[in-house]
Structure 1
């Protein structure tokens, strides 16, 4: 009788199979977890877009309720279009800003997320065309294409500014698709200038001062919101790359953004305060914050900005004190969500009657 060593199939088959199943278990569940996270993010984005859209469309009516002020025709639709326009300005401006921060990091991964700038430019162009059609019908919602007087846009100041925004978004999209996407900065600046001039007509007291404050306000808000969005997208992209997770580079990028973003936040606060005092004298601010539609929307925006600042502070504390600095990503994501709501409320403000100074 010969002695034979039992083969893996004969004696150890069950043990090896169980070990293989145990090893394959976590690997098999990893794609499922990734799919669940992707689904959760998609739902969160959909909810944010829906809430922002509803705030834009219903915000003017809610703010005007009980004030005795008249609403502009189609104020909800106009606010929705301007929300899209503001968001389309934030995305590419923030990408340029945050991409510059990434290049300043020594040893940072070379790969970066795909740019959303071309899509943002397309959405902004559509929104600008919609706003131009409103201007072409005398600031009324067109009931038919025949109501739109395209030639009349060249004859009015608001019409020329609306056309400038359309052309600037087209130029920004072409620049984003070119080999030198950094050239987007010029058409994006033109859009901010057009918005600043539109918000302060020549009949206003010191319109150039008001336009300058609005230009700085819009640009700082775009850099802050769009920059944070791109930073978070970059961290997620680096986490999905092969090889060792660039923990140090991710924490360094988030910390660098937190330090640099303090400048736009300070400028945003200063320009917003100055613009408010120009339109509402100090002795009437508290009263108009609750009795006028503009004041109510402004109060809602201020409260949201306070929430954003608190979330930014929490993220900064976690960056400096937590054992894992990337736990700061959670409040940073919430900050982006609230900033999206701030954009919607800012769009609502543009459709409300300006308070009367007395």
Structure 2
């Protein structure tokens, strides 16, 4: 009698996970997502401003693109540290068998984006066309310039920390980036500027952990698909519980920030008549879609089906990437008029 050969499971080595795409298919998917993330900041400002009568600030497209890269770099490194901390709390997790980290590269992308944004500030918030346009010394004399330099230096320190024996030390410079972004978004002349900055700090921190954390958790699940599938399910469940708290904080701070800039009586009107409002509405819709994916993944995970939960979780992280790009566009648009 000939020995029978069993067909491989659809998920590769582990039937708990969905079938793995061919390398070409995965590469195409990555290129599509990267292209989508690039197109939104490139075309988003002009689409949002169309028909509103508002004037776009010079270089708004470049600012949106650079801030997309900056936010993405922040999410990747902060989320990776967050997910690794969660993984260490999972009993029986093969901590030495995690995916290859991206923290060694992400902060350099953030550094280049921050450097580009600093060059715009050094040219009076205009896109420079030559090195002679830059007033580097002038950066030290303005609030925006100081914050821009802080972000540049913070990403350099974060990159060095990622290569050190204590990569978690990168949380300090990453926190500096978050604070700098919050202060930049709320100049002193703004009403209750420090309250707005505090809301932004919480909002941006929770968003970075949510987006980057899910990305690294999913990469970890793929790595553990054969060595520790039970630990992978436990990790996704642990992340899901923390992510629910993060989403609640993001929602609360987002609502408060919106009402600060668009009072209750004008919200509905400004959501459709201003570029800021239109982009904010698009972001809200996207977050609602992300929440549906998240709930679907959590529900399937509670039923013990890790493979089924993995599919909406991947859709969730892809949609979150689009949310990051839309958020970057939001920072480059003119603020709505606060009607009394």
Q: Shorter-chain TM-score: which interval?
A: over 0.9
Question: Given the alignment, which residue of 347, 351, 354 partners 2:328?
Answer: 347
Once the two structures are superposed, what CA deviation does each residue of 1:309-348 show, in whole Å capped at 9, x if it has no partner?
Answer: 01000001101125x2332010000000000000000000
Residues 9-158 of structure 1 correspond to what in structure 2 (within 5 A)? Answer: 36-110=21-95, 111-158=97-144
Q: Is the 8 A contact 2:120 2:128 kept in 1?
A: yes
Q: Give the aligned partner of residue 288 of structure 2.
A: 306
SS in 1 for 2:310: helix
Q: Is the 8 A contact 1:250 1:326 kept in 2?
A: no
Q: Is the 8 A contact 1:122 1:169 kept in 2?
A: yes
1:260 aligns with 2:242: yes
> Quick one: distance in 2 between partners of 1:91 and 1:307?
21
- Normalised by the size of structure 1, how large is the TM-score? 0.89
Once the two structures are superposed, what CA deviation does each residue of 1:252-284 show, in whole Å capped at 9, x if it has no partner?
Answer: 111111011111110000000000000000000
Q: Is the 8 A contact 1:315 1:331 kept in 2?
A: yes
Once the two structures are superposed, what CA deviation does each residue of 1:88-136 show, in whole Å capped at 9, x if it has no partner?
Answer: 0000110111111100011111311111012100100000000000000
The structure with the largest alpha-carbon Rg is 1
SS in 2 for 1:67: coil
- The answer to which of 325-334 and 79-88 deviates more is 325-334
> Quick one: distance in 2 between partners of 1:208 and 1:150?
28
> Quick one: distance in 1 between partners of 2:328 and 2:243?
22
What's the RMSD between the two structures over aligned residues?
Answer: 1.9
Q: Is the 8 A contact 2:221 2:229 kept in 1?
A: no
Q: Which residues of structure 1 form unaligned runs of 5+?
A: 1-14
How many residues align? The count is 332
SS in 2 for 1:68: coil
> Quick one: distance in 2 between partners of 1:354 and 1:36?
43
Question: 1:68, CA displacement in angstroms?
Answer: 0.2
1:277 aligns with 2:259: yes
1:166 aligns with 2:152: yes
Question: 1:196, CA displacement in angstroms?
Answer: 0.1
Once the two structures are superposed, what CA deviation does each residue of 1:50-104 show, in whole Å capped at 9, x if it has no partner?
Answer: 0111100110000000000000111111100000000000001101111111000
> Quick one: distance in 2 between partners of 1:35 and 1:318?
20
Q: Give the aligned partner of residue 277 of structure 2.
A: 295
Question: 1:36, CA displacement in angstroms?
Answer: 4.6
